């Protein structure tokens, strides 16, 4: 491939959006992504203004032979949203959001964050499910699947995706849905950024205004962890839970005697709210005397608390699906967390099932519909020279927890090589994705992602 120099002054004449280059005061901030320890220097960052800009940047990257990073919210776990020596296509200025309240649908530009979308939808008493963090971009989370607080009641984010505008590698803008282009629409529901740049999504919304939800902190014992999982599996589908087993932070709502001790810090959401919500939460409250109980009626967006700007953690992490989590696995969790020498070590547990599991595995490119639980382990650390130690810890820990067939959710996958990407897209899913990739991106322009190379002829 021949690399062509790109002319920045010429670029300024054809693009509407902001162009940021190494000489600009904003450059360092603009190349920073959520995760720390990533120090890459793109030749240009284009903060696109509209779909026409996206078409031009995609064509430019293709013609110049430059690596293209596509960024929505910048939370890529693998650090894929910034390029060294290439172009960053940054969608964060594209934040239009139009509701059709009667039809309960919305068109959302992909520079929006989950938190912003959720807050604005709540003004209409409506919601689409995203993840557990408000600052995550709707671009990345949607294209990979989307597992959050509404997963058991309404399924994955992609289960509410009705259509998308996508700029493919040939620079064309396509409006894609189940009728116009069933293959591409299938592939973008789980296949990540492999097929083009999504500029807008059309989502279905659900009536979710007030919930019963919030944080419940329990002592992390083997029995509490295993029973928490059993209760989350037995709970009505209105309830989804995300539990973090971790050392208690020195926060005002945690009594001082617990600081640094292992706790189970859960966030619970019951979409029905009211008395049904209280009834569904009661078994969790009864597992042990809560260290803190902040579960209460609230408007749904309050589940996304304000985030600390400038927080860029460095983590050694692994993710997996598992089918059981019993007392012996709970013990494994406690032992490994205690053994970590990181500045913080955490295990996140998410019980799945419900609406997510009712969609057939082959209906979208997210193939793990039947998996019962997702587990993430991570150690945060500050000193780069400690990387190998923490990576070894995370790998050992993951191996000790693994139960059932391998499988991984692409959006939590780090930079772990092609065999792990295969685990995200098992069997026939991989073959279909590779064939569709060949049709829409035969030269693999969109490769800075959990890559699915085009199938061979």
Task: Give the C-alpha separation, 122 to 151, whole Å.
Answer: 18
43 vs 164, beta carbon nearer ligand FAD = 164
290 vs 313, beta carbon nearer ligand FAD = 313
Using CB positions, name the residue nearest to ligand FAD: 140
Residues 6+ apart with CB under 8 A from 69: 42, 80, 81, 82, 83, 86, 87, 88, 89, 448
> Taking CB under 6 A as the rule, which mask of x and - marks residues 29-68 in contact with ligand FAD?
-----x----------------------------------
CA angle 301, 306, 310 (to 5 degrees): 140
> Taking CB under 6 A as the rule, which mask of x and - marks residues 428-457 in contact with ligand FAD?
---------------------x--------
> Does 413 help bind ligand FAD (rule: CB under 6 A)?
no
Task: Give the C-alpha separation, 271 to 96, whole Å.
Answer: 26
Task: Give the C-alpha separation, 350 to 70, whole Å.
Answer: 28
**How many Å separate Cα 153 from the centre of its chain?**
18
Pairing outcome for strands 206-207 and 126-127: antiparallel
> Does 143 help bind ligand FAD (rule: CB under 6 A)?
yes
Q: What is the CA radius of gyration of the chain?
A: 22
Task: Give the C-alpha separation, 119 to 117, whole Å.
Answer: 6
> Taking CB under 6 A as the rule, which mask of x and - marks residues 180-219 in contact with ligand FAD?
------------xx---xx---------------------
Q: Minimal distance in Å, beta carbon 76 to ligand FAD?
A: 3
Query: Would you say how long the chain is, in residues?
Result: 457
Q: Which of 45, 77, 184, 322 binds ligand FAD (CB under 6 A)?
A: 77
For ligand FAD, the binding residues in 288-327 under the rule CB under 6 A are: none
Q: Which of 17, 86, 140, 407 binds ligand FAD (CB under 6 A)?
A: 140
Task: Give the C-alpha separation, 319 to 73, whole Å.
Answer: 21
Q: Minimal distance in Å, beta carbon 257 to ligand FAD?
A: 29
Whether 371 contacts 408, CB under 8 Å: no
> Does 80 help bind ligand FAD (rule: CB under 6 A)?
yes
> Does 70 help bind ligand FAD (rule: CB under 6 A)?
yes
> Does 148 help bind ligand FAD (rule: CB under 6 A)?
yes
Task: Give the C-alpha separation, 219 to 61, whole Å.
Answer: 52
> Does 287 help bind ligand FAD (rule: CB under 6 A)?
no
Positions in the binding site for ligand FAD (CB under 6 A)? 34, 70-77, 80-81, 91, 110, 131-133, 136-137, 139-141, 143-148, 192-193, 197-198, 411-412, 449
């Amino acid at each position: 491939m021949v690399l062509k120099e790109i002319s920045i002054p010429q670029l300024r004449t054809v693009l509407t959006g902001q162009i940021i280059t190494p000489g600009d005061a904003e450059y360092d901030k603009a190349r920073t992504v959520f995760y720390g320890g990533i120090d890459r220097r793109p030749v240009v960052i284009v903060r696109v203004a509209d779909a026409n800009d996206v078409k031009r940047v995609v064509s430019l990257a293709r013609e110049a032979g430059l690596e293209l990073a596509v960024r929505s919210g910048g939370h890529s776990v693998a650090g894929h949203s910034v390029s060294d020596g290439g172009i960053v296509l940054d969608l964060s200025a594209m934040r239009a959001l139009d509701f059709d309240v009667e039809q309960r649908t919305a068109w959302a530009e992909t520079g929006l964050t989950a938190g912003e979308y959720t807050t604005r939808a709540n003004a209409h008493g409506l919601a689409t499910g995203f993840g557990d963090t408000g600052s995550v971009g709707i671009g990345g989370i949607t294209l990979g699947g989307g597992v959050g607080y509404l997963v058991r009641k309404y399924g994955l984010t992609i289960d509410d995706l009705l259509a998308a505008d996508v700029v493919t590698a040939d620079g064309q803008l396509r409006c894609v849905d189940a009728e116009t282009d069933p293959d591409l629409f299938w592939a973008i529901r789980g296949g990540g950024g492999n097929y083009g740049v999504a500029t807008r999504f059309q989502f279905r919304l659900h009536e979710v205004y007030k919930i019963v939800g919030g944080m419940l902190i329990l002592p992390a014992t083997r029995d509490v962890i295993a029973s928490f999982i059993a209760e989350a599996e037995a709970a009505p589908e209105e309830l989804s839970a995300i539990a973090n087993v971790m050392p208690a932070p020195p926060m005002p709502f945690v009594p001082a005697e617990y600081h640094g001790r292992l706790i189970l810090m859960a966030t619970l959401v019951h979409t029905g709210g009211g008395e049904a919500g209280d009834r569904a939460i009661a078994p969790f409250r009864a597992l042990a005397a809560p260290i803190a109980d902040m579960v209460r009626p609230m408007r749904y967006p309050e589940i996304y608390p304000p985030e600390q700007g400038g927080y860029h953690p460095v983590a050694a992490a692994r993710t997996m699906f598992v089918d059981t989590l019993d007392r012996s696995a709970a013990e494994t969790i406690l032992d490994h967390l205690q053994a970590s020498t990181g500045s913080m070590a955490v295990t996140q547990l998410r019980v799945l099932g419900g609406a997510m599991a009712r969609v057939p595995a082959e209906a979208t490119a997210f193939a793990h519909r039947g998996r019962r639980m997702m587990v993430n382990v991570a150690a945060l650390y500050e000193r780069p020279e400690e990387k190998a130690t923490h990576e070894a810890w995370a790998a050992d820990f993951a191996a000790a927890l693994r139960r059932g067939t391998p499988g991984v959710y692409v959006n939590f996958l780090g930079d772990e090589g092609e065999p792990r990407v295969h685990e995200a897209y098992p069997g026939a899913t991989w073959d279909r994705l590779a064939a569709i990739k060949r049709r829409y991106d035969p030269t693999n322009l969109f490769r800075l992602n959990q890559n699915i190379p085009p199938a061979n002829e």
